[in-house]
Amino acid sequence: MAKENQSLTTEFILKGLTDHPVLKTLLFQVFLTIYLITMVGNLGLVALIFMERHLHTSMYFFLGNLALMDFCCSSAITPKMLQNLFSKDRMISLYECMVQFYFLCLAETADCFLLAAMAYDRYVAICKPLQYHTMMSKKLCIQMTIGAYIASNLHSMIHVGLLLRLTFCRSSQIDHFFCDILPLYRLSCTDPYINELMIYIFSMPIQIITIATVLISYVYILFTVFKMKSREGRGKALSTCASHFLSVSIFYICLLMYIRPFEEGDKDIPLAIFYTIVIPLLNPFIYSLRNKEVINVLKKILRTYNILKQT
């Protein structure tokens, strides 16, 4: 009887952030500004690393790819969210929903692998400095990055493929501002047990392996730093890790808080905003403002621009 009375859903309504007219305008301005700064910050960092030969090292290679994934993450979410703030129907098709989740999952999974690779890079640089150029060769960095993209792509495709096996008939309204996996499970009239099992089988090992890589790398780094006799050497070693450690701490704290189960969908929206929109905004500035090499390159570009402007 239930199947006779329910029709399958092929389009969803994104609940969004608010229905208040004044708040809509304010949020549109805020998130549009954040998105534009995120685009400029991340793509600008990618362009800077690509053009400046002094930044053609393994650390900046991984950083450039991280910035590219942060741009992808923000672009998967923010444009549709901005559109829905002033859209009357706030509709999104099932396939648009799958595409949005695919790119979000791809970007976030790649971030996990890239942050782990950056932690290993810092470990080699500080704990094995004489072997750094041998252990972190250009070929190995490319292989690690390609491996991260392949694994992230497969991970995303698995979850999207499993989502397509579900049928949605309970409601057409997603209690979120984007197509996240848990709100979709709540709307499914097919038992999502297999989907949830696959999250534990595929997603949890990725989290455990990448977090373990980061933690083990920093344990070795701290032991090496504390053994240094020179206070200046300790300060320099720690400063090279500060940006990465801050970025990875924010990322994993938000990730672990966000993926815990919720019974009510609206409770995870503030965390989702920070996780999908704010972190991609912060990362390029965390790395740029705390990095003397990037600051020096920016100063060089500004000086060149001023000279050309004057002439």
Positive/negative CA dihedral, 58, 64, 69, 74: positive
Averaged pLDDT of the chain: 85
Highest mean pLDDT among 228-237, 247-256, 266-275: 247-256
Asked if residue 243 lies in contact with residue 291, where contact means CB atoms within 8 angstroms, the answer is yes
Task: Round to whole Å and give the CA distance between 205 and 27.
Answer: 36
For residue 263, the model assigns a pLDDT of 47
- What letter represents residue 292's amino acid? K
Instruction: Give pLDDT tens digits for 180-191.
Output: 888 888 888 888
Task: Decide: residue 212, CB within 10 A, 0-12 exposed, 13-18 middle, 19+ buried.
Answer: exposed
Which tokens sit at 304? 């060149």
Which tokens sit at 59? 């650390």
Which tokens sit at 100? 């949005």
For residue 111, the model assigns a pLDDT of 94
Query: Residue 75 above 90 pLDDT?
Result: yes
Instruction: Give pLDDT tens digits for 260-308.
Output: 654 444 557 888 888 899 999 988 888 776 667 777 777 777 776 666 6
Kindly state the DSSP code that residue 267 receives in the 8-state scheme. Answer: G
Task: Tell me the helices (H) and strands (E) count for the chain, helix number first.
Answer: 13, 3
Query: Residue 239 above 60 pLDDT?
Result: yes
For residue 258, the model assigns a pLDDT of 64
For residue 267, the model assigns a pLDDT of 55
Q: Which residues of 135-166 are buried (b: 16+ CB within 10 A; e: fewer)?
A: ebeeeebeebbeebbebbeebbebbbebbeeb
Name, in order, each residue with C-beta under 8 angstroms of 221's C-beta and a sequence gap of 6 or more.
122, 123, 126, 127, 237, 241
Least confident of 8-22, 40-54, 186-200, 271-285: 8-22
State the pLDDT confidence band at 3, using cuts at 50, 70 and 90.
very low
% of the chain beyond a pLDDT of 70: 89
Instruction: Give pLDDT tens digits for 80-137.
Output: 999 998 888 888 988 899 999 999 999 999 999 999 999 999 999 999 988 998 999 9
Number of C-alpha atoms within 13 angstroms, CB side, residue 228? 16
Asked if residue 162 lies in contact with residue 206, where contact means CB atoms within 8 angstroms, the answer is no
Q: Which domains does the chain have, with CATH numbers?
A: 12-302 (1.20.1070.10)
Residue 225: CB atoms within 10 A of its CB come to: 18
For residue 4, the model assigns a pLDDT of 42
For residue 15, the model assigns a pLDDT of 85
% of the chain beyond a pLDDT of 90: 41
